[in-house]
A and B are shown apart, each in its own frame.
Chain A
Amino acid sequence: MKTPAISEEELHAYADGQLPASRAGEIAAWLEQDPAHAAELQQVRAWRAQNRALHAHYDPVLEEALPPRLAAAVLAGGEEYRRRDQGAAANAANAANSALWWRYAAMLLLTLAGGLGGWYLRDLSAGGNARTLVASAPVMLARQAAVAHTVFSADLRRPVEVGADQEQALVTWLSRRLGANVRAPKLAPLGYDLIGGRLLPGQSGPVAQFMYQDAAGQRLTLYVSRDQVQNHETGFRFAQEGRVNVFYWIDGQFGYALSGSLARPELSRIASSVYEQLAPVVATPAPAPAAPN
């Protein structure tokens, strides 16, 4: 066989799989079939061994759970643009811009609130009234839950920290970390099995996330936080974040949010069941929230 001229650059490209198949075939033959090319063959093998070692060492990073602050950086940037777009549109329409004032006020509040804040601004600049400001903390709960849902439910390999096979350990652990008894409601009758849970950072303390999955692989997450400062109760509320629907409610210090990419009626049905199961068993049970629709 005629020996094609081979440069070092081509050897790199060969080792990295960047050559067209025909040329790669020629080089493979040139390397393998002539003992005079043993040095080049060894070099290519050493390079490929390096490639494999680098992948073996760093590919596990791909499987790590994404730090919430990075997902937050993506969404906060989008939010910034949303405000800008809407602001530009409002100016173009020459709207009387009292909404702007609310946006600034909200931004200030947010800065004070810190953390993942910033997102409930969407409600403000859409409607722009004082009621929204009061309602901001529950909205934040929904938004955080939706982000956590998006980040972790998409994780095929490691969606949870502790699997449902260790449910008791999971519940004990999360209860200890939240400093209160938390429970994973049973949703199997509704077709959703618990697959496990994890601990997440919330606004001012730990947050528990339980994940469920149905036979088709559709995932639901229940987000349980204990840092609701208002210490009051809300009925069911509904929020939508992109493709994620969220039902959420606050019960004393506890905030609950059930997130999933399911139709609102089905999610509502499941949320009702979760609510019933988690409602504290006390002498005077809290009134059931208004039936969601």
Chain B
Amino acid sequence: MFGRKARLERQQRERQADEQAMLACLPRLRRYARALTGEREGADDLVQDTLERAWQKRDSWKRGTDMRPWLFAIMHNLHADQRRKPVLNTVELELEQAETIAAPAPASDQGLALDLEAALQALPAEQREVLLLVVLEEMRYEDVAVTLGIPTGTVMSRLSRARERLRHAMDGAGGLGGLGSAGSTLKVVK
């Protein structure tokens, strides 16, 4: 009877620790999903699916290791599944409503922000994933490789292509100085 009580207590501690760890990762999962999907509701749907899947697959997480890469790997797999099996698109109207509720971006940055979003969404998904994990999540290249299940060399080539395409897209979108067109507007200071 003693053993049972101790086990239940340990399980409870572990559950609460897992809940806390997941809650702590939530803001970053949301940021990544938002940038990955380019929409608000769809991103939160992806996060919610990720949390549910994470509990289902909880035994595959090595207790004591960082939970973040494991969660991102789950999200990557779900997102890849969604891409393979396209579902109905989110109704555009919902997105607009969500945007009006959300605090709008500062007006002066809006044009730039829209171009950045459009350019990002124009990237192939596998390049976008790599770029976002490297830039937003500041993951080491090796960790990106593990999270996405690809060789580090592939991470590097996708990163390189993503940056180049983003730069061209931004240039094409109106040559917004300082972001994409740094090459033509910045002079080397000697």
Contacts and interface: CB of A to CB of B under 8 A. Distances in A.
A49 B141 CA distance: 19
A12 interface: yes
A69 B135 contact: no
A60 B141 CA distance: 24
A16 to B, nearest CB: 6
Contact of B48 (A9, A63, A70): A70
A165 interface: no
Interface residues of A, number: 51
A67 B11 CA distance: 27
Contacts of A16: 134-135, 138
- Which DSSP category, helix, strand, loop or mixed, fits chain B's interface? helix
B78 interface: no
A175 to B, nearest CB: 21
A54 B116 contact: yes
A51 B55 contact: no
Contacts, number: 137
B73 interface: no
Interface residues of B, number: 59
B1 interface: yes
B8 A50 contact: no
A93 B2 CA distance: 11
B150 interface: no
Contacts of A13: 141
B136 A58 contact: yes
Contacts of B27: 61-64, 66
Interface of B: 1, 4, 7-8, 11-12, 15-16, 18-19, 22-23, 26-28, 30-31, 34-35, 44, 47-48, 51-52, 54-55, 58, 102-103, 105, 109, 112-113, 116-117, 120, 131-132, 134-136, 138, 140-141, 156, 159-160, 163, 166-167, 178-183, 186, 188, 190
Q: Enumerate the 3 nearest inter-chain pairs by beta-carbon distance, A residue then B residue, closest first.
A: A77-B55, A46-B182, A61-B31
10 contacts: A16-B134, A18-B140, A35-B188, A53-B112, A58-B34, A69-B44, A73-B52, A77-B19, A77-B54, A89-B8
